[in-house]
Chain A
Amino acid sequence: MDNLLVLWQAPTLTLQLLIDGVLVGAIYCLPAYGMALVWGVMKIINVAQGDFVMLGGYVALYVSYAGIHPMFGVPVAAAVLFVFGWIVYQLVIRHIVDRDLFVSVLATFGISIVLQQLANQLFSANVETAEANLGSTYLFGSTIVVGNIKLVAVAIALVLAVVLFLFLKHSRLGQAIRATAQNPRAARILGIETSQVFAMTYALNAAICGAAGALVVQIWIIHPYIGLTYTIRAFMIVVVAGLGNIAGVVLAGLGLGAAEQFASFLLGAEYQAAFVFSLLVVILLWRSQMLARRRLYLK
């Protein structure tokens, strides 16, 4: 309760927490879009989501080692991970698209473990970070401070969301993806090469995660085992937002970020993770109740 008192005495802190939370949430949004996309189109829950984020981080890290500003790592990581995602699709995912959800969870969990161990072999277990050196911005006469890199990250996350939305809505491939998501069989009958669509969707998802990873390494840290953090957040956001709802993903992501910040501040950092999981349980309960009610209504 002491912490609540602190907030009460210094209201600008509330704003600081909110801003920090939204900035954190924007990063969570990226792997969440990807997850929603793959889940919606291919009915696969990609547990390796966070590991793609991790790999993207390493790509950006090596870009910065080459003496190039790590910001350029964002497109590079996206491109590299696009190719990587396509390869993973051809090797593994292709064989499990039509299987049930459990098989896909197991398979992607396996991919996740393999990626972690490979990353550990290739890059060592050291905790790494890349310096963007973009400085910080003072808001409201220095009462609130925000790292510029986080602002850039939010901008990129929002731009990606809009681009993704327009892409799905208007491009041929986007329409094919949506058609496949609605009914793969009908799409196939209408001449859509669904296996191509699946490959593209999975690669696109990996690319989005890669971009997120390139931002994560500049804002926080990466190491080979950081993936699960992002997988869990992405899963939660998608569960809350539902599939095929990009606006919902953005809102849920930002909300989760803010909720985490306030929980950590008020309850103490040790309850941050516990809070996230409890929230997930509550939301799942609430969702199933809503579904039950709808079913009742339909009867």
Chain B
Amino acid sequence: MTVWKWGVALLALAATGGASAMAAESDDTIVLGAAVSLTGNYSTNGKNTKDGYELAVKRVNEMGGVNVGGKAYKLKVVYYDDESTPARGAQLVERLINQDGVKYILGPYSSGLTKAIAPVTEKYKIPMVEANGADRDLFTQGYRYTFGVLSTAEQYLTEAVNLAAEVGKAQGRDLKTFKVAIVVENDPFSADVRNGVVDDAKRFGMPIVIDDKFPRDINDMTPSLTKVRALKPDLLVVSGHDKGALLGARSVYEGRVDVPMMAMTHCDSAQVAEKFGKNADYILCGSQWDRSLKYSDKWFGTAEEYAVRFQKEFNYAPPYQGAESTAGVLVYVDAFTRAGTLDVEKVRDAIATTDLATIYGQVKFDETGKNVAKPMVLYQIQNGEYKLVAPTKVASAKFLYPTPAWTERMK
């Protein structure tokens, strides 16, 4: 028995030793490390994240690799599966750093996982460029080595409040009578979305008449919508990942709840338009990115060309999770080149001074490490399709307001 045990232990040691030998930086390869969710709750988005990273790595290598101080390096990413659990993610990143000798970390999927990993990279003074953790909290801890390329959660629906203020003013209404209802999930991400909306509503002096936080195991949203029916807000905001989006859209049309303007997050990933078609018309959706945006970079060309390439490689259209992950790798590539060295601290400083155009939008970090150059965009579902309606600069369709009553729509 004991002989067996020792044998197994030795084998395991050999296996890990082999892995670290593989991962260690060879002369002409820069190794990045990432713990992403390939199984568990976040496996779908975890795959999007990995695919985004992989596409960037492939493209950069195709184009001759990364030029650091006159020498061309190939890129490579070592992955581990964090099983969608924060503790496991933190453990694996520690392993990437300590055992595999990785000096540059790419973020995991979701705010929760990123929050668990950030203290680890901070402890070892290893930079982490993350593309999928949108919590505002991540950037209030004074982290020096964490950089996020995506817009933070509180910005997700601020564009919708701005739009509401615009139409309110255009109607010549006093914004103090423009009522806002908020129904969000009771989790850190949605709470940030809510706080962003609350701040903006306050700025315009709009009263908040409903402020509901539904539980994680929600299966029914009707009580909150009954309140909406009673209090008749002018803007209804719903956020709660995919389940919030699906329940919100369905409950509003099934309950024939009339509200002039409704905005939510995650419509695209939940496929609200695809599932409910015209019944989901007029709903506004905050999104990080869209392939029709006029962003471009030297690696992929335009956002549309990126999307075509992504689709060809992985057989599905890129969700924004894919595009932002690609941007995360590009930030590293740009920083390596500008630093002109692979010294970790110098690379970190180069990342901090990033000002880079990518297919995902401009990336420029403030002193807390969050990207302040890229706005959120707002879709509206029109005739069962997503149309870009805000910000006005990039809009490709007109914002339809107000939403007609259900009695009209059902005719």
Contacts and interface: CB of A to CB of B under 8 A. Distances in A.
A40 B3 CA distance: 50
Interface string A283-296: 00000000000000
Interface size class of A (residues with CB under 8 A): 35 or more
Contact of A20 (B40, B44, B183, B223): B223
Given A120-B43, A221-B246, A223-B243, A272 B227 contact: no
A228 B226 contact: no
Nearest to B43: A125
Most A CB contacts (10 A, CB to CB) among B44, B186, B223 go to B223
Contact of A225 (B41, B186, B224, B231): B41
Given A129-B275, A264-B224, A6 B231 contact: yes
Interface string A125-137: 1110101000010
Contacts of A126: 44, 242
Contact of A127 (B243, B255, B276): B243
Contacts of A268: 211-213
Contacts of B221: 269
A262 B226 CA distance: 11
B219 A216 contact: yes
Interface string A116-155: 0100110011110101000010100010010101000000
30 contacts: A6-B230, A6-B231, A13-B230, A16-B226, A16-B229, A20-B222, A20-B223, A20-B226, A24-B219, A24-B222, A117-B39, A120-B39, A120-B43, A124-B44, A125-B41, A127-B242, A129-B250, A131-B275, A145-B254, A145-B255, A221-B246, A229-B217, A261-B222, A262-B223, A264-B214, A265-B227, A268-B212, A269-B224, A270-B186, A273-B217
Interface string A244-269: 00000000000000001110110011
Given A228-B217, A272-B215, 7 more contacts: A6-B227, A20-B222, A127-B270, A129-B275, A149-B254, A261-B223, A265-B227
A37 B23 CA distance: 56
Contacts of A16: 226, 229
Nearest to B215: A273
Nearest to A265: B223
A8 to B, nearest CB: 11
A226 interface: yes
A7 to B, nearest CB: 8
Contacts of A117: 39
A72 interface: no
Contacts of A220: 219-220, 247, 250
A92 B325 CA distance: 43
A interface SS class: helix
A236 interface: no
A17 B221 CA distance: 11
Contact of B214 (A3, A223, A262, A272): A272
Interface of A: 3, 6, 9-10, 13, 16-17, 20, 24, 117, 120-121, 124-127, 129, 131, 136, 138, 142, 145, 147, 149, 216, 220-221, 223, 225-226, 228-229, 260-262, 264-265, 268-270, 272-273
A265 B242 CA distance: 23
A26 to B, nearest CB: 12
A264 B219 contact: no
B88 interface: no
Nearest to B231: A6
Nearest to A263: B223
Given A220-B219, A268-B213, A269-B215, A129 B227 contact: no
A174 B59 CA distance: 66
A268 B256 CA distance: 21
Given A136-B254, A221-B243, A223-B243, A269 B226 contact: no
Most B CB contacts (10 A, CB to CB) among A20, A142, A221 go to A221
Contacts of A262: 223
A261 B214 CA distance: 12
A13 B232 CA distance: 13
B42 A125 contact: yes
A125 B231 CA distance: 35
A148 to B, nearest CB: 9
Nearest to A10: B230
